[in-house]
Structure 1
Amino acid sequence: MKKLMLALLSLVLLSGCVTKSLSVEDRHQIKTIKILPVYFAVENFKYTSMTQAWGAGLGAGAGAAAGMASGASSAGTNALTGAGSVVGTKAADGATMDISQAILNNMRAHGIDVGQLVRESFERRIKQEGMFTIVAEGERADADVEIMVPQWGLSLKNYSTVLYPVIGVNGSMKRSGTSVWRNFNTISPFNESNTLAYTPEQYATDPEALRAAFSRVSDLAVGKLIEDLKQ
Protein backbone atom coordinates (compact mmCIF):
# COMPACT_ATOMS: atom_id res chain seq x y z
CA MET A 1 0.00 0.00 0.00
CA LYS A 2 2.81 2.41 0.89
CA LYS A 3 4.56 1.66 -2.40
CA LEU A 4 1.34 2.28 -4.35
CA MET A 5 0.75 5.54 -2.50
CA LEU A 6 4.30 6.67 -3.27
CA ALA A 7 3.80 5.93 -6.97
CA LEU A 8 0.53 7.87 -7.01
CA LEU A 9 2.11 10.82 -5.22
CA SER A 10 4.99 10.82 -7.71
CA LEU A 11 2.48 10.83 -10.56
CA VAL A 12 0.59 13.75 -9.04
CA LEU A 13 3.81 15.65 -8.41
CA LEU A 14 5.02 15.25 -11.97
CA SER A 15 1.67 15.61 -13.72
CA GLY A 16 1.31 18.39 -16.25
CA CYS A 17 4.63 20.11 -16.86
CA VAL A 18 7.51 18.05 -15.56
CA THR A 19 9.26 21.10 -14.12
CA LYS A 20 8.09 24.53 -13.04
CA SER A 21 10.36 27.45 -12.20
CA LEU A 22 9.70 29.72 -9.23
CA SER A 23 8.45 33.06 -10.54
CA VAL A 24 9.94 36.39 -9.50
CA GLU A 25 6.65 37.34 -7.82
CA ASP A 26 6.48 34.13 -5.77
CA ARG A 27 10.15 34.43 -4.87
CA HIS A 28 9.55 37.90 -3.42
CA GLN A 29 6.40 36.94 -1.54
CA ILE A 30 7.54 33.63 -0.05
CA LYS A 31 9.64 34.30 3.04
CA THR A 32 8.90 31.21 5.15
CA ILE A 33 8.57 27.56 4.14
CA LYS A 34 7.51 24.39 5.89
CA ILE A 35 9.17 21.12 4.81
CA LEU A 36 6.61 18.33 4.97
CA PRO A 37 7.60 14.75 5.92
CA VAL A 38 9.63 13.16 3.11
CA TYR A 39 7.90 10.35 1.22
CA PHE A 40 10.35 7.45 1.10
CA ALA A 41 9.82 3.70 0.65
CA VAL A 42 12.49 1.25 1.79
CA GLU A 43 11.06 -1.39 -0.56
CA ASN A 44 12.06 0.71 -3.59
CA PHE A 45 15.69 -0.21 -2.92
CA LYS A 46 17.39 -1.39 -6.13
CA TYR A 47 20.58 -3.44 -6.00
CA THR A 48 22.75 -4.25 -9.03
CA SER A 49 26.14 -5.92 -8.60
CA MET A 50 28.65 -8.08 -10.44
CA THR A 51 27.13 -11.17 -8.81
CA GLN A 52 24.09 -10.96 -11.07
CA ALA A 53 26.14 -10.40 -14.22
CA TRP A 54 28.55 -13.21 -13.39
CA GLY A 55 25.72 -15.56 -12.43
CA ALA A 56 23.91 -15.11 -15.73
CA GLY A 57 27.13 -15.28 -17.75
CA LEU A 58 28.54 -18.37 -16.04
CA GLY A 59 25.18 -20.11 -16.22
CA ALA A 60 24.97 -19.55 -19.96
CA GLY A 61 28.56 -20.74 -20.42
CA ALA A 62 27.95 -23.90 -18.43
CA GLY A 63 24.85 -24.71 -20.45
CA ALA A 64 26.63 -24.24 -23.76
CA ALA A 65 29.60 -26.35 -22.66
CA ALA A 66 27.33 -29.19 -21.59
CA GLY A 67 25.55 -29.10 -24.93
CA MET A 68 28.76 -29.27 -26.96
CA ALA A 69 30.28 -31.99 -24.77
CA SER A 70 27.30 -34.26 -25.33
CA GLY A 71 27.32 -33.67 -29.08
CA ALA A 72 23.88 -32.10 -28.89
CA SER A 73 22.25 -30.54 -31.92
CA SER A 74 22.13 -26.78 -32.35
CA ALA A 75 18.60 -26.74 -30.97
CA GLY A 76 19.66 -28.90 -28.04
CA THR A 77 22.63 -26.69 -27.31
CA ASN A 78 20.41 -23.62 -27.33
CA ALA A 79 18.03 -25.30 -24.92
CA LEU A 80 20.85 -26.28 -22.59
CA THR A 81 22.29 -22.80 -22.77
CA GLY A 82 18.93 -21.39 -21.75
CA ALA A 83 18.69 -23.83 -18.87
CA GLY A 84 22.18 -22.92 -17.72
CA SER A 85 21.30 -19.25 -17.85
CA VAL A 86 18.25 -19.81 -15.69
CA VAL A 87 20.22 -21.82 -13.13
CA GLY A 88 23.03 -19.27 -13.04
CA THR A 89 20.61 -16.37 -12.77
CA LYS A 90 18.68 -18.05 -9.94
CA ALA A 91 21.90 -18.69 -8.04
CA ALA A 92 22.93 -15.06 -8.54
CA ASP A 93 19.51 -13.84 -7.44
CA GLY A 94 19.82 -15.88 -4.24
CA ALA A 95 23.23 -14.41 -3.44
CA THR A 96 22.01 -10.93 -4.33
CA MET A 97 18.99 -11.27 -2.06
CA ASP A 98 21.23 -12.28 0.85
CA ILE A 99 23.64 -9.36 0.51
CA SER A 100 20.99 -6.76 -0.30
CA GLN A 101 18.97 -7.82 2.74
CA ALA A 102 22.11 -7.63 4.87
CA ILE A 103 22.61 -4.05 3.65
CA LEU A 104 19.03 -3.10 4.50
CA ASN A 105 19.40 -4.75 7.91
CA ASN A 106 22.57 -2.75 8.53
CA MET A 107 20.75 0.47 7.68
CA ARG A 108 17.81 -0.39 9.89
CA ALA A 109 20.01 -1.40 12.83
CA HIS A 110 21.89 1.90 12.75
CA GLY A 111 19.01 4.25 11.97
CA ILE A 112 20.16 5.20 8.47
CA ASP A 113 17.09 6.65 6.74
CA VAL A 114 17.67 7.95 3.21
CA GLY A 115 14.52 10.07 3.36
CA GLN A 116 15.82 11.76 6.50
CA LEU A 117 19.25 12.29 4.93
CA VAL A 118 17.61 14.03 1.96
CA ARG A 119 15.51 16.22 4.26
CA GLU A 120 18.51 17.21 6.37
CA SER A 121 20.50 18.04 3.24
CA PHE A 122 17.66 20.20 1.89
CA GLU A 123 17.26 22.07 5.18
CA ARG A 124 21.00 22.63 5.45
CA ARG A 125 21.28 24.05 1.93
CA ILE A 126 18.26 26.34 2.37
CA LYS A 127 19.84 27.78 5.52
CA GLN A 128 23.28 28.10 3.92
CA GLU A 129 21.86 29.99 0.96
CA GLY A 130 19.64 32.15 3.16
CA MET A 131 16.78 31.62 0.73
CA PHE A 132 13.88 31.12 3.15
CA THR A 133 13.15 30.79 6.85
CA ILE A 134 12.14 27.23 7.73
CA VAL A 135 9.29 26.93 10.23
CA ALA A 136 8.37 23.89 12.29
CA GLU A 137 5.44 21.60 11.58
CA GLY A 138 2.24 23.06 12.99
CA GLU A 139 3.38 26.62 12.33
CA ARG A 140 2.06 28.79 9.52
CA ALA A 141 4.28 29.23 6.46
CA ASP A 142 4.05 31.11 3.17
CA ALA A 143 4.62 27.84 1.26
CA ASP A 144 4.93 24.10 1.81
CA VAL A 145 7.74 21.98 0.35
CA GLU A 146 7.11 18.35 -0.59
CA ILE A 147 10.04 16.00 -1.19
CA MET A 148 9.83 12.42 -2.44
CA VAL A 149 12.47 9.74 -2.99
CA PRO A 150 10.83 7.38 -5.51
CA GLN A 151 14.04 5.49 -6.31
CA TRP A 152 17.28 4.69 -4.53
CA GLY A 153 19.83 1.92 -4.31
CA LEU A 154 23.33 0.71 -5.15
CA SER A 155 24.72 -0.03 -8.59
CA LEU A 156 27.94 -1.07 -10.28
CA LYS A 157 29.58 1.03 -12.99
CA ASN A 158 31.23 -0.63 -15.97
CA TYR A 159 31.50 -3.99 -14.17
CA SER A 160 33.11 -2.43 -11.12
CA THR A 161 33.55 -4.46 -7.94
CA VAL A 162 32.48 -1.47 -5.86
CA LEU A 163 28.91 -0.16 -5.88
CA TYR A 164 27.84 3.46 -6.21
CA PRO A 165 24.80 4.94 -4.45
CA VAL A 166 22.00 6.04 -6.79
CA ILE A 167 18.95 8.17 -6.04
CA GLY A 168 16.04 10.02 -7.57
CA VAL A 169 14.49 12.99 -5.75
CA ASN A 170 11.34 14.95 -6.63
CA GLY A 171 10.69 18.33 -5.06
CA SER A 172 7.77 20.74 -5.21
CA MET A 173 6.60 23.91 -3.49
CA LYS A 174 2.98 24.91 -3.02
CA ARG A 175 1.59 28.28 -2.05
CA SER A 176 -2.04 28.32 -0.91
CA GLY A 177 -2.44 24.86 -2.45
CA THR A 178 -1.11 25.93 -5.86
CA SER A 179 2.15 24.55 -7.21
CA VAL A 180 4.69 27.36 -7.69
CA TRP A 181 7.85 25.27 -8.17
CA ARG A 182 8.51 21.70 -9.22
CA ASN A 183 11.61 19.80 -10.28
CA PHE A 184 13.37 16.46 -10.01
CA ASN A 185 16.90 15.13 -10.13
CA THR A 186 18.54 11.73 -10.41
CA ILE A 187 22.10 10.75 -9.57
CA SER A 188 23.42 7.67 -11.38
CA PRO A 189 26.75 5.82 -11.07
CA PHE A 190 27.93 7.78 -14.11
CA ASN A 191 27.46 11.21 -12.54
CA GLU A 192 30.98 12.66 -12.44
CA SER A 193 30.54 13.90 -8.87
CA ASN A 194 29.29 10.53 -7.61
CA THR A 195 32.69 9.16 -6.61
CA LEU A 196 32.11 7.59 -3.19
CA ALA A 197 31.75 3.81 -3.57
CA TYR A 198 32.31 0.70 -1.45
CA THR A 199 32.17 -3.07 -1.87
CA PRO A 200 28.92 -4.94 -1.12
CA GLU A 201 30.57 -6.45 1.96
CA GLN A 202 31.46 -3.00 3.30
CA TYR A 203 27.89 -1.80 2.85
CA ALA A 204 26.61 -4.91 4.63
CA THR A 205 28.91 -4.59 7.65
CA ASP A 206 30.06 -0.96 7.97
CA PRO A 207 27.26 1.50 8.84
CA GLU A 208 29.55 4.49 8.36
CA ALA A 209 30.22 3.46 4.75
CA LEU A 210 26.47 3.35 4.16
CA ARG A 211 25.89 6.67 5.87
CA ALA A 212 28.72 8.38 4.00
CA ALA A 213 27.64 7.06 0.58
CA PHE A 214 23.97 7.97 0.90
CA SER A 215 24.71 11.30 2.58
CA ARG A 216 26.94 12.17 -0.35
CA VAL A 217 24.46 11.17 -3.04
CA SER A 218 21.64 12.96 -1.17
CA ASP A 219 23.72 16.15 -1.14
CA LEU A 220 24.34 15.83 -4.89
CA ALA A 221 20.65 15.39 -5.70
CA VAL A 222 19.51 18.16 -3.37
CA GLY A 223 22.25 20.48 -4.60
CA LYS A 224 20.85 20.47 -8.11
CA LEU A 225 17.32 21.08 -6.82
CA ILE A 226 18.55 24.07 -4.81
CA GLU A 227 20.40 25.48 -7.80
CA ASP A 228 17.19 25.31 -9.81
CA LEU A 229 15.20 26.88 -6.97
CA LYS A 230 17.64 29.81 -6.89
CA GLN A 231 17.25 30.62 -10.59
Structure 2
Amino acid sequence: MKILFSAFCTLFLLSGCATKDLSIENRQKIKTLAVLPASFPEQQFKYTSMDQAWGAGLGAGAGVAVGMASGASKVATSAMAGAGVAMGAKVADGGALSPRQAILLNLQRNQIDPGQLFKQQLEARITAEQLFKVVPEGSGADAHMEFVISEWGFALKNYSSELYPTVGVVATMKRGDVAVWRNFETITAFSDGNTLAYTPQQYATDPEVLRGALQHAFELAIEKLMTDLKQ
Protein backbone atom coordinates (compact mmCIF):
# COMPACT_ATOMS: atom_id res chain seq x y z
CA MET A 1 0.00 0.00 0.00
CA LYS A 2 2.85 2.40 0.82
CA ILE A 3 4.50 1.61 -2.51
CA LEU A 4 1.31 2.40 -4.42
CA PHE A 5 0.82 5.64 -2.50
CA SER A 6 4.45 6.63 -3.20
CA ALA A 7 3.91 5.99 -6.89
CA PHE A 8 0.99 8.42 -6.89
CA CYS A 9 3.00 11.05 -5.04
CA THR A 10 5.78 10.73 -7.58
CA LEU A 11 3.31 10.92 -10.46
CA PHE A 12 1.73 14.09 -9.15
CA LEU A 13 5.06 15.74 -8.39
CA LEU A 14 6.33 15.05 -11.88
CA SER A 15 3.19 16.22 -13.63
CA GLY A 16 2.52 19.18 -11.35
CA CYS A 17 -1.03 17.94 -10.87
CA ALA A 18 -3.29 18.23 -7.85
CA THR A 19 -6.85 17.34 -7.03
CA LYS A 20 -9.41 19.84 -8.31
CA ASP A 21 -13.07 20.13 -7.34
CA LEU A 22 -15.75 20.61 -9.99
CA SER A 23 -17.03 24.14 -9.53
CA ILE A 24 -20.74 25.00 -9.55
CA GLU A 25 -20.16 27.07 -12.69
CA ASN A 26 -18.55 24.21 -14.61
CA ARG A 27 -21.10 21.71 -13.33
CA GLN A 28 -23.89 23.86 -14.77
CA LYS A 29 -22.11 24.16 -18.12
CA ILE A 30 -21.49 20.43 -18.55
CA LYS A 31 -24.54 18.54 -19.77
CA THR A 32 -22.87 15.91 -21.95
CA LEU A 33 -19.74 13.92 -21.14
CA ALA A 34 -17.53 11.60 -23.19
CA VAL A 35 -15.57 8.96 -21.27
CA LEU A 36 -12.30 7.97 -22.92
CA PRO A 37 -10.95 4.41 -22.61
CA ALA A 38 -8.38 4.00 -19.86
CA SER A 39 -4.98 2.61 -20.85
CA PHE A 40 -3.75 -0.23 -18.65
CA PRO A 41 -0.08 -0.60 -19.69
CA GLU A 42 1.44 -4.04 -19.29
CA GLN A 43 4.50 -2.51 -17.65
CA GLN A 44 2.26 -1.12 -14.90
CA PHE A 45 0.86 -4.56 -14.11
CA LYS A 46 2.09 -5.57 -10.65
CA TYR A 47 2.00 -9.05 -9.19
CA THR A 48 2.94 -9.83 -5.60
CA SER A 49 2.69 -13.32 -4.14
CA MET A 50 4.25 -15.40 -1.39
CA ASP A 51 4.93 -18.10 -3.94
CA GLN A 52 6.85 -16.54 -6.83
CA ALA A 53 8.02 -19.99 -7.84
CA TRP A 54 4.44 -21.05 -8.60
CA GLY A 55 5.02 -20.38 -12.30
CA ALA A 56 7.20 -23.45 -12.59
CA GLY A 57 4.12 -25.60 -12.14
CA LEU A 58 1.88 -23.69 -14.55
CA GLY A 59 3.28 -24.52 -17.98
CA ALA A 60 1.27 -27.25 -19.67
CA GLY A 61 -2.01 -26.56 -17.89
CA ALA A 62 -2.32 -22.88 -18.69
CA GLY A 63 -2.77 -23.09 -22.42
CA VAL A 64 -5.39 -25.83 -22.20
CA ALA A 65 -7.37 -24.20 -19.39
CA VAL A 66 -7.43 -20.78 -21.00
CA GLY A 67 -8.42 -22.23 -24.34
CA MET A 68 -11.30 -24.25 -22.91
CA ALA A 69 -12.54 -21.39 -20.75
CA SER A 70 -12.77 -19.11 -23.78
CA GLY A 71 -14.86 -21.60 -25.73
CA ALA A 72 -12.12 -22.20 -28.28
CA SER A 73 -12.53 -24.79 -31.04
CA LYS A 74 -10.86 -28.17 -30.73
CA VAL A 75 -8.19 -27.09 -33.18
CA ALA A 76 -7.51 -23.87 -31.29
CA THR A 77 -7.54 -25.67 -27.96
CA SER A 78 -5.07 -28.19 -29.29
CA ALA A 79 -2.79 -25.40 -30.43
CA MET A 80 -3.03 -23.73 -27.04
CA ALA A 81 -2.24 -27.01 -25.34
CA GLY A 82 0.85 -27.31 -27.47
CA ALA A 83 1.87 -23.79 -26.54
CA GLY A 84 1.31 -24.61 -22.89
CA VAL A 85 3.55 -27.68 -23.12
CA ALA A 86 6.21 -25.64 -24.86
CA MET A 87 6.05 -22.93 -22.21
CA GLY A 88 6.19 -25.55 -19.49
CA ALA A 89 9.32 -26.97 -21.05
CA LYS A 90 10.78 -23.48 -21.32
CA VAL A 91 10.25 -22.98 -17.60
CA ALA A 92 11.82 -26.32 -16.83
CA ASP A 93 14.86 -25.23 -18.84
CA GLY A 94 15.15 -22.02 -16.87
CA GLY A 95 12.78 -19.93 -18.99
CA ALA A 96 10.88 -16.86 -17.87
CA LEU A 97 7.24 -17.96 -17.72
CA SER A 98 5.74 -16.58 -14.52
CA PRO A 99 2.30 -16.19 -12.92
CA ARG A 100 2.39 -12.56 -14.03
CA GLN A 101 2.89 -13.57 -17.66
CA ALA A 102 0.23 -16.28 -17.41
CA ILE A 103 -2.36 -13.80 -16.12
CA LEU A 104 -1.57 -11.34 -18.89
CA LEU A 105 -1.85 -14.22 -21.36
CA ASN A 106 -5.31 -15.05 -19.98
CA LEU A 107 -6.36 -11.44 -20.61
CA GLN A 108 -5.03 -11.49 -24.14
CA ARG A 109 -6.42 -14.85 -25.22
CA ASN A 110 -9.87 -14.08 -23.91
CA GLN A 111 -9.90 -10.51 -25.21
CA ILE A 112 -10.45 -8.99 -21.77
CA ASP A 113 -9.67 -5.29 -22.09
CA PRO A 114 -9.35 -3.67 -18.63
CA GLY A 115 -9.60 -0.20 -20.18
CA GLN A 116 -12.93 -0.96 -21.79
CA LEU A 117 -14.22 -2.64 -18.61
CA PHE A 118 -13.36 0.45 -16.59
CA LYS A 119 -14.94 2.78 -19.16
CA GLN A 120 -18.16 0.75 -19.35
CA GLN A 121 -18.53 0.55 -15.57
CA LEU A 122 -17.93 4.27 -15.14
CA GLU A 123 -20.35 5.19 -17.92
CA ALA A 124 -23.03 2.99 -16.38
CA ARG A 125 -22.51 4.58 -12.96
CA ILE A 126 -22.59 8.16 -14.28
CA THR A 127 -25.80 7.36 -16.17
CA ALA A 128 -27.39 5.73 -13.12
CA GLU A 129 -26.52 8.74 -10.97
CA GLN A 130 -27.86 11.07 -13.70
CA LEU A 131 -24.87 13.37 -13.30
CA PHE A 132 -24.32 13.91 -17.02
CA LYS A 133 -25.52 12.49 -20.31
CA VAL A 134 -22.83 10.10 -21.50
CA VAL A 135 -22.16 10.45 -25.24
CA PRO A 136 -19.66 8.76 -27.59
CA GLU A 137 -16.19 10.17 -28.04
CA GLY A 138 -16.03 12.64 -30.92
CA SER A 139 -19.67 13.66 -30.65
CA GLY A 140 -18.96 17.20 -29.47
CA ALA A 141 -19.49 16.60 -25.75
CA ASP A 142 -19.33 19.53 -23.34
CA ALA A 143 -16.47 17.76 -21.54
CA HIS A 144 -14.51 14.55 -21.58
CA MET A 145 -12.94 12.38 -18.90
CA GLU A 146 -9.51 10.80 -19.28
CA PHE A 147 -7.38 8.57 -17.07
CA VAL A 148 -3.84 7.66 -16.07
CA ILE A 149 -3.40 4.19 -14.57
CA SER A 150 -0.36 4.24 -12.32
CA GLU A 151 -0.58 0.62 -11.23
CA TRP A 152 -2.87 -2.39 -11.51
CA GLY A 153 -2.64 -6.07 -10.75
CA PHE A 154 -2.93 -8.49 -7.84
CA ALA A 155 -1.38 -8.53 -4.38
CA LEU A 156 -1.44 -10.60 -1.23
CA LYS A 157 -2.81 -9.42 2.11
CA ASN A 158 -0.42 -10.25 4.93
CA TYR A 159 0.51 -13.87 4.19
CA SER A 160 -2.54 -14.85 2.17
CA SER A 161 -2.27 -17.49 -0.54
CA GLU A 162 -5.09 -15.77 -2.46
CA LEU A 163 -4.48 -12.45 -4.17
CA TYR A 164 -6.63 -9.32 -4.20
CA PRO A 165 -7.11 -7.04 -7.24
CA THR A 166 -5.50 -3.60 -7.03
CA VAL A 167 -5.69 -0.44 -9.11
CA GLY A 168 -4.51 3.16 -8.95
CA VAL A 169 -6.18 5.73 -11.19
CA VAL A 170 -5.94 9.45 -11.82
CA ALA A 171 -9.17 10.77 -13.38
CA THR A 172 -9.38 14.17 -15.07
CA MET A 173 -12.38 15.94 -16.58
CA LYS A 174 -11.62 18.56 -19.20
CA ARG A 175 -13.51 21.20 -21.12
CA GLY A 176 -11.39 21.47 -24.21
CA ASP A 177 -7.83 21.48 -22.89
CA VAL A 178 -8.72 22.93 -19.50
CA ALA A 179 -8.99 20.59 -16.51
CA VAL A 180 -12.14 21.35 -14.52
CA TRP A 181 -12.00 18.36 -12.16
CA ARG A 182 -9.31 15.93 -11.08
CA ASN A 183 -8.97 13.27 -8.46
CA PHE A 184 -7.02 10.08 -7.81
CA GLU A 185 -7.93 6.90 -6.00
CA THR A 186 -6.12 3.71 -5.07
CA ILE A 187 -7.54 0.30 -4.32
CA THR A 188 -5.12 -1.96 -2.48
CA ALA A 189 -5.42 -5.42 -0.99
CA PHE A 190 -6.29 -3.69 2.30
CA SER A 191 -8.99 -1.33 0.98
CA ASP A 192 -12.44 -1.53 2.54
CA GLY A 193 -14.72 -3.74 0.49
CA ASN A 194 -11.89 -5.43 -1.38
CA THR A 195 -12.88 -8.91 -0.32
CA LEU A 196 -12.77 -10.75 -3.65
CA ALA A 197 -9.63 -12.88 -3.82
CA TYR A 198 -8.51 -15.94 -5.80
CA THR A 199 -5.40 -18.03 -6.24
CA PRO A 200 -2.80 -17.15 -8.88
CA GLN A 201 -3.74 -20.26 -10.83
CA GLN A 202 -7.40 -19.20 -10.98
CA TYR A 203 -6.42 -15.79 -12.31
CA ALA A 204 -4.19 -17.44 -14.91
CA THR A 205 -6.66 -20.05 -16.15
CA ASP A 206 -10.22 -18.82 -15.51
CA PRO A 207 -11.17 -15.76 -17.59
CA GLU A 208 -14.40 -15.12 -15.68
CA VAL A 209 -12.60 -15.10 -12.34
CA LEU A 210 -10.04 -12.70 -13.80
CA ARG A 211 -12.69 -10.45 -15.32
CA GLY A 212 -14.80 -10.44 -12.15
CA ALA A 213 -11.89 -9.55 -9.88
CA LEU A 214 -10.86 -6.62 -12.07
CA GLN A 215 -14.44 -5.38 -12.26
CA HIS A 216 -14.70 -5.54 -8.48
CA ALA A 217 -11.59 -3.39 -8.00
CA PHE A 218 -12.83 -0.95 -10.64
CA GLU A 219 -16.20 -0.74 -8.91
CA LEU A 220 -14.52 0.24 -5.64
CA ALA A 221 -12.36 2.87 -7.35
CA ILE A 222 -15.31 4.28 -9.29
CA GLU A 223 -17.35 4.52 -6.10
CA LYS A 224 -14.68 6.76 -4.59
CA LEU A 225 -14.38 8.87 -7.74
CA MET A 226 -18.13 9.32 -7.93
CA THR A 227 -18.30 10.42 -4.29
CA ASP A 228 -15.83 13.18 -5.05
CA LEU A 229 -17.45 14.11 -8.35
CA LYS A 230 -20.85 14.60 -6.72
CA GLN A 231 -19.54 16.99 -4.06
Q: 1-side partners of 2:24 and 2:13: how far apart?
A: 22
The one-letter code sitting in structure 2 at the alignment partner of 1:26 is N
The answer as to whether partners of 1:20 and 1:181 remain within 8 angstroms in 2 is: yes
Counterpart of 1:190 in 2: which secondary structure?
Answer: coil
Instruction: Pick closer, same or farther for the CA change 1:207–1:47 going to 2, 3 Å.
Output: same
Aligned counterparts of 1:181 and 1:14: Cα–Cα separation in 2: 19
Query: Which amino acid is the alignment partner of residue 200 of structure 1?
Result: P
Partner of 1:50: 50
Tell me how far apart the structure 2 counterparts of residues 96 and 222 of structure 1 sit (CA, whole Å): 35
**1:150 to partner: Cα distance:** 2.0
Which residue of 2 is the match for residue 138 of structure 1?
A: 138
| Partners of 2:15 and 2:205 in 1: CA distance | 40
1:49–1:163: 8 Å Cα contact kept in structure 2?
yes
Q: Does 1:225 align with 2:220?
A: no
Preserved CA contact (<8 Å) 1:35 1:146:
yes
Separation of aligned partners in 2, 1:18 and 1:12: 7
SS at match of 2:172: strand
Q: Which SS does the other structure have where 1:39 is aligned? A: coil
Cα contact 2:40–2:152 (8 A) shared by 1 = no
Q: Which residue of 1 aligns with 2:203?
A: 203
Distance 2:175 2:185 in 1: 22
Specify whether residues 12 and 99 from structure 1 end up closer, same or farther in structure 2 by C-alpha distance, changes over 3 A only.
closer
Percent of paired sites with the same residue: 54
3-state SS of 1:166 partner: strand
Give the ranges of 4+ consecutive aligned residues of structure 1 lying more than 4 Å apart after TM superposition: 10-14, 94-97
In the alignment, is residue 194 of structure 1 matched against residue 194 of structure 2?
Answer: yes
- For 2:111, the aligned partner's letter is G
**RMSD between aligned residues:** 2.5
Cα distance, 1:53 vs structure 2: 9.6
Q: Which amino acid aligns with 2:148?
A: M
Q: What is the number of residues matched between the two proteins?
A: 185
Structure 1 gap segments, 5+ residues each: 1-6, 55-90
The 8 Å contact of residues 13 and 172 in structure 1, kept in 2 or not, is answered as: no
Question: Shift in Å at residue 95 of structure 1?
Answer: 9.4
Q: 1:118 to 1:168 in 2, by over 3 A?
A: same
User: TM-score normalised to the size of structure 1?
Assistant: 0.74
Aligned to 1:129: 129
Aligned to 1:38: 38
Contact 1:169 1:222 in 2 (8 A): no
Query: Which residue matches 2:71?
Result: none
So what's the TM-score if we normalise by structure 2?
Answer: 0.74
Aligned match of 1:213: 213
1:210–1:30 distance in 2 versus 1, CA, 3 Å: same
Q: Quick check: which has more Rg, 1 or 2?
A: 1
* Corresponding residue number in structure 2 for 1:180: 180
Q: Once the two structures are superposed, what CA deviation does each residue of 1:94-118 show, in whole Å capped at 9, x if it has no partner?
A: 7995222111111111111211111
Would the alpha carbon gap of residues 100 and 53 (structure 1) be closer, same or farther in structure 2, given more than 3 Å must change? closer
Q: Is the 8 A contact 2:163 2:198 kept in 1?
A: yes
Aligned equivalent of 2:119: 119
